[in-house]
A and B are shown apart, each in its own frame.
Chain A
Amino acid sequence: MAKASLQSFLLPQHHYFANTSNHDSSPSNLLKLTTNSSSNISFRLFSNTSPSVTTTSTPNSSTPTPVTPAAADKPPSPTLDLLSRQLAAGDYRQADETTRALLIDLAGESARRRGYVFFSEVQFISAEDLRAIDELWREHSNGKFGYSVQKRLWEKARRDFTRFFIKVGWMKKLDTEIEQYNYRAFPDEFVWEMKDDTPEGHLPLTNALRGTQLLGNIFMHPAFEEGQEEEPTEESVTATTSGQSKDDSKGRERPKFMKDFKPNYSF
């Protein structure tokens, strides 16, 4: 995949975050962007690279791998509209894929070729687009999912990604003498339905295979600057106080795992 980066590429017109005052952000805007880009390449990139955005596994890996007909699993082109439909249908799994593909698509031609977003390309994604994605997620999850939800939790974890990963359920506790956490395996160990015990901020997933700078930069994107999304944030807070994060909202009374927290990684 990385070989893509070796090809010469022309940076397509980027949406600098400086331009983000544009308020008529809409799915159509995104659609336009997608159609503008060479869809063939993005298709392929999408189909091949999106899973690499998270840790992957082969659910059926213990059985002989069936031949995959070339075109059979070519997913539809990633658009906001598609994301919206998938979310509306409660298909979080596909929506999650679409989200990552969208992110790659939005980050520019070079990210599309490469198949993943380099942290410094996040600035090229427009605030509208990012917020649109976030809004869809929140809208279809009672405010439980979405980047802005995650960002809030991340801030609460004092921007410590390990704490954050544990909080949103991307890391699991290991059964060792000392308290340790390892990354969850994709996709089996993630929760793909909205249940009571689905951790707040669990979706969408963002890859930590290449470290945390990408996600950090999404959180730091002007799209999620304080105040801008006040209402929805509150919404999501209220929506989840009944959930498992309530003990976390009390400053002093951190859950035990936070107190005894032994930093750890793995994904």
Chain B
Amino acid sequence: MARDDYGCSRLINRAATGNPSAHRSRVIFNVPCRQEYAHEFICCFLDNLDKSTLDPWSNEKHSSTFDEESMVKQPFGCQLKIQDTKMSSLVSAPFATATGRAAQKKPTVPLQSFLLSRRQPAAAVNRGRAGSNTIRCAVAGGNGLFTQTKPEVRRVVPPEQRGLPRVKVVYVVLEAQYQSSVTAAVQQLNADARRAASFEVVGYLVEELRDADTYATFCADLADANVFIGSLIFVEELALKVKAAVEKERDRMDAVLVFPSMPEVMRLNKLGSFSMSQLGQSKSPFFQLFKRKKNDGNFADSMLKLVRTLPKVLKYLPSDKAQDARLYILSLQFWLGGSPDNLQNFLKMIAGSYVPALKAAGGIKYDDPVLYLDAGIWHPLAPTMYEDVKEYLNWYDTRRDADPRLKDPNAPVIGLVLQRSHIVTGDDGHYVAVIMELEARGAKVIPIFAGGLDFSGPTQRYLVDPVTGKPMVNAVVSLTGFALVGGPARQDHPRAIAALQKLDVPYIVALPLVFQTTEEWLNSTLGLHPIQVALQVALPELDGGMEPIVFAGRDPRTGKPAADSICSVFPPSPLIAELVLFSHFGHTWRVVNKCFFPLLVLDAGKSHALHKRVEQLCTRAIRWAKLKRKTKEEKKLAITVFSFPPDKGNVGTAAYLNVFSSIYSVLKDLKNDGYNVEGLPDTPEELIEEVIHDKEAQFNSPNLNVAYRMNVREYQQLTSYASLLEENWGKPPGHLNSDGENLLVYGKQYGNIFIGVQPTFGYEGDPMRLLFSKSASPHHGFAAYYTFVEKIFQADAVLHFGTHGSLEFMPGKQVGMSDTCFPDSLIGNIPNIYYYAANNPSEATVAKRRSYANTISYLTPPAENAGLYKGLKQLSELISSYQSLKDSGRGPQIVSSIISTAKQCNLDKDVPLPEEGEELAPKERDLIVGKVYAKIMEIESRLLPCGLHVIGEPPTAIEAVATLVNIAALDRPEDGITSLPGILAETVGRNIEDVYRGSDKGILADVELLRQITEASRGAITSFVEKTTNSKGQVVDVTNKLSTILGFGLSEPWVQYLSKTKFLRADREKLRVLFGFLGECLKLIVADNELGSLKLALEGSYVEPGPGGDPIRNPKVLPTGKNIHALDPQAIPTTAAMKSAKIVVDRLLERQKADNGGKYPETVALVLWGTDNIKTYGESLAQVMWMIGVQPIADTFGRVNRVEPVSLEELGRPRVDVVVNCSGVFRDLFINQMNLLDRAIKMVAELDEPVEMNYVRKHAQEQAAELGVSVREAATRVFSNASGSYSSNVNLAVENATWTDEKQLQDMYLSRKSFAFDSDAPGAGMKEKRKAFELALATADATFQNLDSSEISLTDVSHYFDSDPTKLVQGLRKDGRAPASYIADTTTANAQVRTLSETVRLDARTKLLNPKWYEGMMKSGYEGVREIEKRLTNTVGWSATSGQVDNWVYEEANNTFIEDEAMRKRLMETNPNSFRKLVQTFLEASGRGYWETSEENLERLRELYSEVEDKIEGIDR
């Protein structure tokens, strides 16, 4: 603290002097100084205050020290250069007092407020951003359509009274709270019998000024106004409107007061001689400085202290100028104080001092602004607020009203985090509701509040026992909706995490509705307003916040104007009011507001509890808290596994995870830890056996172990929402998870652990439901499962095991569940812990938001290079001999062997191969060999995850090599790291990018060089890893090893290795930096926190949050075992993403142009994935922008809410039309970005450009004519599912083989995916626009998707084909031509755009047909067979949707898995169900015409099918 104050004091001193070199921190309070500088100083100060409020969102790191030189010189240099020492002494005085130095020496300065004030957290400056940010968002949100209010509700007209001067005040505000406060203040003033004047007031909300009529009224109001007040006017276009209107009347008006706003508006300030017309003239440097140099909250702190102190200093300056300046600062204090009392005094002061008639009469007496306690503990019943938790608890124990349960020392204790503004303004009904609910349920509460937005200090002060350092609470619930540090403004997640780690309890962030009224939220299928999702859901997640439960609403009738208008667009008052309350903080709490004012006004915009939601929140919080209280021995855990798609062979499915082995290892660990895991068998196999009974049984047979039979009556009694399921599923029990009389819960109990099988959606095998399942509900069996877990087994927590189940994808709102949302009803009150693959942050986020999961990440299995096998290996050998012998005369012969082998390997489609025997010139030979070589290398170096991960078994160091090689392949300029291939290429005088390009073209020398580089990279990294591991292959003490290694240049293992290669002269320093980084990564890869974090969660401790994503791109994903989160949705696309996007789009368009007779595609149909955009920071989003030729423009906060068209000249090509299909998850996570895209596309469609250069416009015009709508409306291109629905269900149909023909799949796609987002009606959510979707798709010349990470490829998951519209487009196109289809692959340093069929072939070669891959899978046994079958099923999916699968892929697969007798036997033994599915899929591929093969093959398959069928049935019997 001292440092901060010191820092700031220095800053201001220098600021004042304007001379950085002069250290004038010596303080002499030299009164008769040049007062005229005072107000200039204030201007300058406010300018900076204002600018610093504008700063916020850049991602740079904070620096806690000031760069004095630039800080002072730049901001203050020009503006204050005339100022001298005397000025410095004036302004430095308050700072000296602030620091406590020299304070006593200046008795003239009233000090107590300083001395007594506590450290102010990053308060006001940050808060200012709330306003500005949100306004910006609101602009993005759609042109005032959220606001339908009029200013008339804010007009107060005093009764006609002769003889009294009349003062008319016009104000423009952002926040609703001012409305009630101002109205109340004015009514009180007018009600005072001894009043000196009558006041007329009218208020406008900034956003209302968009409306032309309202703006006219505003101007008219200004025409006879005495005083204008503005606050937080940060929307540029509106700021300019305000400025234009006020400017005209400024000279005439008696006073103009503008509080933190854009400089244009701030300059309007006028208070007597005080003016700010010079404001901001020094502008950019300071601002730039702030952008660059992140000072932390302390700067703001100190600024605020200045505001607090300045008036007291100025009071002693006699001149008018100083007094005007003082009144301005006092005004600011009044205003920020915000209460009607403060505002009354404010108006009295201004009117009395500046309205001539009143001034002449001697002014009006007014009171000083009121001081408020900044932070403390508040309870509605408490006689006072507490600053000491012990005192609070003493009071608590003496409460006469309290139930004895609350005095039980074992009662759970919940810490609540509240916003002071809600308490001070009395808008605390929803807080009181939570407190009452918790206490009524037997939990003690410690409700703490703070006025700032940094709650990390208060949580430490009031929730941690100062003596023992132990938390005094068992769970913390924040009711603010904000990130713990920085709120909506500049967050400091590391600091928040550090604070929460100290608390070490579950941390829940619930939120009140602020942008919507209750009814708007209920009506919305989106649920929570997207801007609030960004601010109050996504950001708290980065702190590790869980359970975004909406617990309070706003009624349009409660203060109709306020709630309706502001709340729908802006953060409501409390959001911003905090900013406003930074004024004065004394050490004692005083109640000033003795007089109550009319309540209709008081209640305006207030929050009310949503009783059921409050219940849900409180019961859940108590359940979490109890985890901290219960002993391990008594804790009950329900482990839930999935069966997806529903087939017995699939029980325990989870991406990359060996589920049963993992469960087994978890249970063993829990047992050792003291949990009751009675009867755990000795091996994982036995565990599977006991849960599934026998693997060969059919899924629906009761042979799956039945843990519980629930009769219908019991079910209905315990399941409050059971009747809601009947519309879709009829009366219980139904036929799913049922024996006709009872509902069946499958699973097995071991002591206090229950392993259960989550039921399926239930409609997988039902094409009609798949088609129309928009409003589906879970079936009775599904509900019964969770009822059992919660009410009968009475689990203390449920652990969903692996990626991913169905619960979180059940119908309901996207975010901000209501009582009618199924994920919320199903999970009930059970704390939910969820193991989730680290590479899938988007779906993990859905689980987090919709089913309140604490998502604990697990590692994907270590990747290996695909390597070469069979013919491909031969080819590689041939190429190698060609290189050594090509000039020996054997060249042509070897080339022809290469060509024929390549043909055998079906490479002819990937590389143009000449006819055999064709004469080739040496150069041509080189080129052909080079191209084949490049293809081979591409296959060889492809990464694939081998085997399946087991929780608690991190990879060995050597297994991590391939991952490290890939990590090393990327440049990381932000960390000063050069890629290893880059370093190596340099040593031979080449640029790696050139080598990549040459290799892509098939230039033999470059392909060879690249191979050498790759090999050397692997070698160098292997040598490094070997040095840091022990004989068992475990990494030992990397840090120590590293420092030893790094100490001695020559002994560096990589240097030793490279010295034996042609790269011996590689740059040592760059290598050292790189390997230092790789060492850190290695440590993280092999770290084992997955079990540890689970146990933390089960013990009711805090689980550290971390990003999800691709460990190669973002090693911060490691180590796993973190509570996964996504990212700030408004941060994308980043500039870097835009850059990569341009490369990909240009390559795509070039490729399509080359393949399509030199014509650009008119339309590209593409897909936006949530995970993809998280991992790449919005690359694919940026791709769409570049196709249509627009550029994202980041605002001053670095947030993207605006786009601008790129000129056609710069673009150098036509604007390409797009059809954007957003995945359901993308829609949930990035609705603001959908909005942005829609606006961008509509903007492009309306550009006045020739249609041959603007295909968006061209098509939109055509479609407008056809549909009879406007061009703007016709330019609808951004589609997704309906809210709360996910995927086209084509995947389910294919996986279950339950479709009749491709037409049916296409219908599914259209019916599920044709919901459009309309930026002109953003509040309406997703609207079905099937016709527009079809028309747009019909113009597509190409389809396109991105691959986001190396370990997930086209056939690994069903999502990719699920969203592929290739054949659908063909059917829709008038010419019936199939569109080209492309896949971009940016997973490696050398980004590629391949055709879909190329990618399918590559995928088949590296996975399904690659012995390394399938043998790796087979090692995982039961689950491995399923993985093999899944790849084949997904391949059929590609045939069905795109027709881009070559016959040989099936043929080779058949050779590998069926023809090979030993192999098929192994498959059948290991997992007969999956093997049966495999055989069935082959037959299906043939039956549907995707695979032409010999009758012999088919016959064998048929025989096998009945054989395995018999086997399964036989065992069943």
Contacts and interface: CB of A to CB of B under 8 A. Distances in A.
- Can you list the 4 inter-chain pairs with the closest CB atoms, starting with the nearest? A57-B557, A211-B433, A185-B557, A48-B596
Nearest to B560: A61
Given A118-B401, A213-B437, A261 B724 contact: yes
Given A210-B432, A265-B611, A64 B157 contact: yes
Nearest to B198: A67
B401 A64 contact: no
B558 interface: yes
Contacts of B150: 62
Contacts of B979: none
7 contacts: A6-B385, A49-B599, A120-B403, A182-B522, A211-B615, A213-B437, A262-B724
Interface in B584-624: 589, 591, 593, 595-603, 606, 608-615
A3 B591 contact: yes
B881 to A, nearest CB: 69
A159 B663 CA distance: 40
Given A183-B518, A211-B436, A211-B611, A177 B775 contact: yes
A245 interface: no
Contacts of A120: 381, 399, 401-403, 436, 439-440
A189 B560 CA distance: 14
A6 B596 contact: no
Contact of A265 (B426, B612, B724): B612
A52 B1023 CA distance: 73
B1307 interface: no
A214 B609 CA distance: 13
A192 interface: no
Given A51-B600, A114-B380, A210-B430, 4 more contacts: A65-B155, A68-B191, A180-B522, A211-B433
B613 A265 contact: yes
Interface stretch (A7-15, A142-150, A228-236): A7-15
Interface centre among A1, A50, A209, A211 (most CB of B within 10 A): A211
Contacts of B440: 119-120, 213, 216-217
A97 B615 CA distance: 27
B518 A52 contact: no
A11 B401 CA distance: 11
B406 to A, nearest CB: 9
A263 B610 CA distance: 11
Interface in A1-29: 1-9, 11, 14
B591 A4 contact: yes
B603 A2 contact: no
B288 interface: no
A48 B600 CA distance: 9
Interface string B497-519: 00000000000000000000011
A259 B555 contact: no
A260 B819 contact: no
A63 interface: yes
A48 B518 contact: no
Given A1-B602, A55-B555, A64-B157, A212 B593 contact: no
A70 B191 contact: yes
Contacts of A183: 518, 555, 608
Interface in B390-446: 399-403, 423-424, 426, 428-430, 432-434, 436-437, 439-440
A198 interface: no
A174 B523 contact: yes
Interface in B319-349: none
Given A65-B155, A212-B611, A262-B820, A51 B603 contact: yes
A2 B153 contact: no
Interface of B: 150, 152-153, 155-159, 183, 187, 190-193, 378, 380-385, 399-403, 423-424, 426, 428-430, 432-434, 436-437, 439-440, 518-519, 522-523, 525, 553, 555-561, 589, 591, 593, 595-603, 606, 608-615, 720-721, 723-724, 726-727, 775, 818-820
Interface in A112-149: 114, 116, 118-121, 123-124
Given A48-B596, A266-B610, A68 B437 contact: no
B338 to A, nearest CB: 13
A50 B602 CA distance: 12
Nearest to B150: A62
Given A2-B380, A265-B610, A65 B724 contact: no
A249 interface: no
A94 interface: no
A48 B603 CA distance: 10
Give the interface SS of chain A, mostly helix, strand, loop or mixed: loop
Contacts of A45: 596
A34 B1018 CA distance: 88
Contacts of A98: none
Contacts of B603: 51-52, 56
A65 B187 contact: yes
A227 interface: no
A124 B429 CA distance: 22
Contacts of B558: 55-57
B598 A48 contact: yes
A74 to B, nearest CB: 11
Contacts of A47: 596, 599
| Chain A: interface size category | 35 or more
A49 B519 contact: no
Nearest to B183: A65
Contacts of B424: 3
B1489 to A, nearest CB: 40
B1066 to A, nearest CB: 64
B522 A176 contact: yes
Interface centre among B157, B378, B436, B611 (most CB of A within 10 A): B611
Nearest to A48: B596
Contacts of B597: 48
Interface in A157-172: 160-162
A210 B820 contact: no
A65 B601 contact: yes
A210 B429 contact: yes
A261 B157 CA distance: 47
A208 interface: yes
A62 B403 CA distance: 46
Contact of A118 (B432, B596, B615): B432
A212 B436 CA distance: 9
A261 B723 CA distance: 7
B191 A174 contact: no
Interface in A90-119: 110, 114, 116, 118-119
A118 B609 contact: no
Contacts of B525: 177
Contacts of A261: 723-724
A32 to B, nearest CB: 22
A58 interface: yes
B609 A48 contact: no
B385 to A, nearest CB: 6
A48 B602 contact: yes
A33 B734 CA distance: 60
A62 B149 CA distance: 10
A225 interface: no
A1 B426 contact: yes
Nearest to A267: B608
A178 B156 contact: no
Contact of A210 (B433, B553, B775): B433
A118 B436 contact: yes
A183 B382 CA distance: 30
Nearest to A174: B522
Contacts of A70: 191-193
B560 A58 contact: yes
Interface centre among A174, A189, A266 (most CB of B within 10 A): A266
Contacts of A86: none
A44 B593 CA distance: 13
A36 B1217 CA distance: 79
Given A1-B602, A3-B426, A264 B522 contact: yes
Contacts of B192: 70
A64 B155 contact: yes
